[in-house]
Every structure is written in C-alpha cells, then in structure tokens.
Structure 1
Amino acid sequence: MESVTDLTVHQIGRTASMVMQRTVDVTESSDIGRDLGVDSLSLMNIVMELEDFFELSIPLDRLADVETVGDLAALINELRVRA
C-alpha cells in the first residue's frame, strides 16, 4: 500500500506535468528547480493547482524552504493534518 507521502508525490508529479504541459517524472528527492526545470511562475501555478486539489492553503513564506518534491509533499501533508 502506498503511503500518504507517495500519493502526494504522485499528485505533485501529475500536477507539474499538467502545468508544464510535458511529462514530469518525480521522486521525493527531485529538485523542483534544477531537476524539473520549474521556474517561479510555474511553481506558483503548480502550488495553486495543488491547493485546489488538496483543498488547503500553502503559505508563501513556507514555500521558501521547499527545494525538493519531498519537501513540498511533507509541507502539504503537514498542512493536511492541521486542517
């Protein structure tokens, strides 16, 4: 059975692929900027889609610490627990 983190990582990959309009393969260790080629505008679009999907709000100040897909998944899961 997949963990919550695995499912969140999978959804981040699906969302990134949709926003970037190309297939994006992600792992927890994928660097969002370097490995995925996501610029700041695309990242904001990905974050907005993820906020809609998970029905939560991701504070912009918390995004400053996000470097990898795993970091983003952990942040989303933390916010989901608090909701």
Structure 2
Amino acid sequence: MSDRDEIFETVAEQIAPFNKKGIKLTDATTFAGDLEWDSLTVMDFVAAIEDEFDIIITMNMQAEIETVGQLVDAVAKLKD
C-alpha cells in the first residue's frame, strides 16, 4: 500500500463519524456537495485531521480543498 493509499484510508476513517448519509468515498467526493457538510462540520473535521497527522492546514489551503482527493494530496504534501 502506498503512502497516499494509507493517507486516504486514515482520512476515510476520520470522515466516517461525519458521514451521516453513508456516502461511498472516492477522490472525487466533495465535502460540501456529496457529504453536505456545513462550515462547523468542516472546522471540526479539519481539527481532527490536523491532530491525526500532526500538521497545520491553513485557511487558504482549506478554501482550495473541495474533494477528498485534494485533501489526501494536501496531507501528503504537508507530511513530507
């Protein structure tokens, strides 16, 4: 399993408690559209991801991340 696959799995685990509709996650899954998250849910989720990976996701980065795949790529970049 590649690092990216491992990050995707960990991100998916973090999404699970927030995934009220049971959406199947792919790189293309959107937080606002598919998962229907509001801004408070996004903030809680970002905090969980930051804690899990021991990284900081800036507000500018958050604004650009719309899909699960984009988040996985951002985490991979920040971990290096």
Assess same fold via TM > 0.5.
yes
Interval of TM-score (by shorter of Structure 1 and Structure 2): 0.7 to 0.9
TM-score w.r.t. length of structure 2: 0.85
Give the 5 Å matches for 1:59-74: 59-74=58-73
CA shift digits 1:16-37 (9 cap, x unpaired): 112x264453111111111112
Aligned-residue RMSD, C-alpha: 1.5
Show the counterpart of 1:48. Answer: 47
Counterpart contact for 1:28–1:70, Cα < 8 Å = yes
The superposition leaves residues 13-65 of structure 1 with CA deviations (integer Å, 9 ceiling, x where unpaired) of 211112x2644531111111111122211111111001111011111111111
Partners of 1:13 and 1:25 within 8 A in 2: no
Gaps of 5+ in 1: none
1:13 touches 1:26 (CA, 8 Å); kept in 2?
yes
Residues 36/21 of structure 1: CA separation in 2 closer, same or farther (3 Å cut): closer
* TM-score calculated relative to the size of structure 1: 0.83
- Count of residue correspondences: 79
Among the aligned pairs, what percent are the same residue?
A: 27
Q: Does 1:57 align with 2:56?
A: yes
